[in-house]
Amino acid sequence: MTNWQLVVGSVALGGATYLTLQRALSRPENHAPGPAGWPLVGNTFQVPQTKIWRYFEKLGYEHGPIFRLSLAGDEILVLNDPADAEELLHRRSSNYSSRKSLVYAGHYQSQNKRLVLLPYGTELKNQRAAFYQMLQPRVIGSYERMQELESTKLLFDMLTRPLEVDMNAKRYAASLVFTLSYGKRLADDDEDLKAVIDILDKFIQGCYPGAHLVDTFPFLDKILPDFLAPWRAEARQKHENEMKARFLVARLVLEVKQKVDDGRTDLECFAARLWEQQEKFNLDLVTLSYIAGSAFEAGTGATGGTILWFIMAMIMFPDALKRAQDEVDSVVGTDGETIPTFEHLDRLPYCVALTKETFRWMPATPGGFPHYSDHDDEYKGLKIKANTMVIPCIWSMQHNPDRFPNPLTFDPERFLANGDMTSSGSSLFTEGHYGLGFGRRICPGRYLGSTSAWIGITRLIWAFNIGPALDDAGKPIPVDPEKCTSGITSQVFLPL
Using CB atoms within 10 A of its CB, is residue 410 exposed (0-12), middle (13-18) or buried (19+)?
buried
Range in contact with ligand HEM (rule: CB under 6 A) among 66-74, 246-254, 281-289, 447-455: 447-455
Closest separation between CB of residue 115 and ligand HEM, Å?
A: 5
In whole angstroms, what is the distance from residue 106 CA to residue 178 CA? 23
Q: Which residues pair with 71 in a beta bridge?
A: 42, 74
For ligand HEM, which stretch binds (CB under 6 A), given 240-248, 271-279, 281-289, 362-370?
A: 362-370
Compute the distance between CA of residue 489 and CA of residue 204 in angstroms, rounded to an integer.
9
Residue 82 within binding range of ligand HEM, rule CB under 6 A: no
Give the HSE-up count for residue 11: Cα atoms under 13 Å, Cβ half-sphere. Answer: 20
Residue 177 engages ligand HEM in binding (rule: CB under 6 A):
yes
- The answer to the question of residue 358 lying near ligand HEM (CB under 6 A) is no
Indicate the burial class of 493 (C-beta count within 10 angstroms; 0-12, 13-18, 19 or more). middle
Among 361, 438, 454, 462, binds ligand HEM (CB under 6 A): 438
91 burial via Cβ count (<10 Å: 0-12, 13-18, 19+):
exposed
Is 351 annotated in some ligand binding site?
Answer: no
Question: Are residues 69 and 78 in contact, defined by beta-carbon separation less than 8 angstroms?
Answer: yes
Q: Examine residue 449 and tell whether it contacts ligand HEM (CB under 6 A).
A: yes
Angle subtended at Cα 97 by Cα 93 and Cα 99, rounded to the nearest 5 degrees: 160
Q: Give the SS3 label for residue 495.
A: coil
Give the interface segment with ligand HEM, choosing from 44-52, 64-72, 155-163, 363-371 (CB under 6 A): 363-371
| Sole window of 62-70, 141-149, 154-162, 438-446 interacting with ligand HEM (rule: CB under 6 A) | 438-446
**Of 287, 294, 358, 458, which one interacts with ligand HEM (CB under 6 A)?**
294
Cβ nearer to ligand HEM, comparing 340 with 444: 444
| Dist. CA 321–CA 22, nearest whole Å | 56
Kindly state the number of chain residues that form the binding site for ligand HEM, as judged by CB under 6 A: 27
Left (φ > 0), alpha (ψ -120 to 50) or beta: where does 368 sit? left
- Positions in 295-314 near ligand HEM (CB under 6 A): 295, 298-299, 302-303, 306
* 491: nearest Cα among 399, 407, 365: 365
Instruction: Indicate whether 367 belongs to the interface with ligand HEM (CB under 6 A).
Output: no
Dmax (CA) of the chain: 73
Contact (CB, 8 A) for 96 and 120: no
Least distance CB 99 / ligand HEM (angstroms)? 7
- If one asks whether residue 95 binds ligand HEM (CB under 6 A), the answer comes out as no
Q: How far is the CB of 297 from ligand HEM (least distance, A)?
A: 8
Which range in 47-55, 214-222, 307-315, 444-452 contacts ligand HEM by CB under 6 A? 444-452
Amino acid at 233: A
Of 96-125, which residues contact ligand HEM (CB under 6 A)? 115-116
Contacts with ligand HEM in 130-169 (CB under 6 A)? none
Q: Which of 364, 389, 457, 484 is close enough to bind ligand HEM by CB under 6 A?
A: 364
- Segment interacting with ligand HEM (CB under 6 A) among 31-39, 151-159, 437-445, 479-487: 437-445
Among residues 115, 142, 153, 119, the alpha carbon closest in space to that of 131 is found at: 115
User: Which residue positions form the known binding site?
Assistant: 443
Extract the annotated binding site for heme: 443
Where along the sequence are the contacts to ligand HEM (CB under 6 A)? 115-116, 128, 177, 294-295, 298-299, 302-303, 306, 364-365, 369, 435-438, 441-445, 448-450, 453
